[in-house]
Amino acid sequence: MSDQLNISYETLKRWGYEVIDQIIWVKMKDSNVLLSPGNNLMHSYEMCLVGYKCPLGEHVEYNSKISNNIIFANVKKKHQKPEELYDIIELLMPGSKKIELFARNHNLRPGWFSLGNQLGDLKDKEKSKSIVCNECNKQIKVGIKRYKDKRQADYNICEKCFGEKGLSISNFFEIRNETDEIMIHQYHSCARCNSEPIWGTRFACIECDNYDLCETCYDSHLQASETEKFHNFSHEFTFYETPLPADGLPTHPDYK
C-alpha cells in the first residue's frame, strides 16, 4: 500500500499537480463499517488524493476548511464513489476545471473531465461471449470453473461435467471464472489481430518470449490447418485470466 501511495504522489508530481490533501472514504454497509480483503489487514476505506495545478498568469479560486477529510458513506454500485467526494472538491475549488483520473462509468458528473481505461459501454456489460458447456449445453455461470480444451477450438466443459467424465486435467486449461467483468491486460497485444490491450483471457506461449493471443485468436490457431497456422502448433500455451499486478498496477516485462 505504501509503495502504491508513493507512486501515486510521484505520478501527480510528474504531471504537474501539487497534492494539497487526502480525502478518506470509510465504506459503510447497513450502518456497519464494510470489511474487504487486504494483503495484511482487512480494508475499510479508500483514499482520494486531491491536487491542483495553475498555469502562470492564472489563479485558482480556493476555499479552505469547508469540510474535514473523512467521509462515511455507503457502498453503492461496483466502483461507484460517494457523491460527497465530488461535493467537497467542488466547494474547495468552485471556479476551477475538474478532472478525475482513473474514472469509472458510475461517476461521470457534469462539469468534470473524466479519464480512465475503464470507461465506455463495454465496461458496463458482462462478458460479451456467453460460454456454454459443450456437454450439458448449459451456460457456465460466473463462479463455476470452466475447462477449456487445449487442442480443440472453442470447446469448454463446466466443472460438473468435467468431474463426471473423468477427463485428464493435462489436456485442459482450468479457468476459475470468478468475475463477470471483462479483464483488461494492459501493455499486452495479441500477436495475430494486434489488439492492445488484450481483453478477456490472455493466452501466452511458454516457449516464445512475449507471444500472446486473445481467446478468439487462440481458437483460430487451433482451427487452422497445418499450412495456415500462424504459430508453431507444438508449442505449449499457458493462460492468464486476470492481469498481472505489481502493488495494484498493471505490469509487463518490457514496461517498467
Domains 125-180 and 184-250 share a fold: yes
Domain boundaries, given as residue ranges, for the chain: 2-123, 125-180, 184-250
ω into residue 55 within 30 of 0, thus cis?
no
Say what the pLDDT of residue 148 is. 96
What's the predicted TM-score (pTM) here? 0.58
DSSP one-letter code for 48:
E
Q: How many CA atoms lie within 13 A of 181 on its CB side?
A: 12
Where helices occur in the chain by DSSP H, the ranges are 2-14, 83-92, 159-165, 215-223
Residues 146, 161: Cα–Cα separation, whole Å: 10
**Mean residue pLDDT across the chain:** 86
Q: Cα 206 to chain center, whole Å?
A: 24
CA angle 154, 160, 166 (to 5 degrees): 85
State the cell numbers at 98: 475538474
* 148 contacts 208 by C-beta, under 8 angstroms: no
CATH class of 125-180: alpha beta
What is the pLDDT, as a whole number, of residue 126? Answer: 46
pLDDT value of residue 128: 46
Burial of 237 (0-12, 13-18, 19+ CB in 10 A): buried
In the block, cell 487451433 appears at: 222
**Residue 101 to residue 17: CA distance in whole angstroms:** 12
Residues 38 and 17: their CA atoms lie apart, in Å, by 29
Share of the chain above pLDDT 70, in %: 91
pLDDT of residue 184: 84
Q: How many CB atoms lie within 10 A of CB 52?
A: 18
pLDDT digits (tens, 9 = 90+) for 56-113: 888 888 898 999 999 999 998 877 899 999 999 999 999 888 999 888 888 899 899 9
What per-residue confidence (pLDDT) applies to 226?
72
Q: Residue 180 and residue 172: Cα distance in Å, rounded?
A: 21
Chain mean position to CA 138: 27
Tens of pLDDT along the chain (256 residues)?
567 888 889 999 999 999 999 999 999 998 899 988 777 788 899 999 999 898 888 888 889 899 999 999 999 887 789 999 999 999 999 988 899 988 888 889 989 999 887 777 655 544 445 789 999 999 998 889 999 999 899 999 999 999 999 888 999 999 999 887 778 888 899 999 998 889 889 999 999 988 999 999 999 988 887 777 788 878 999 999 988 776 566 666 666 5
CATH fold for the domain made of 184-250: Wheat Germ Agglutinin (Isolectin 2); domain 1 (3.30.60)
- How far apart are alpha carbons 131 and 187 in whole angstroms? 26
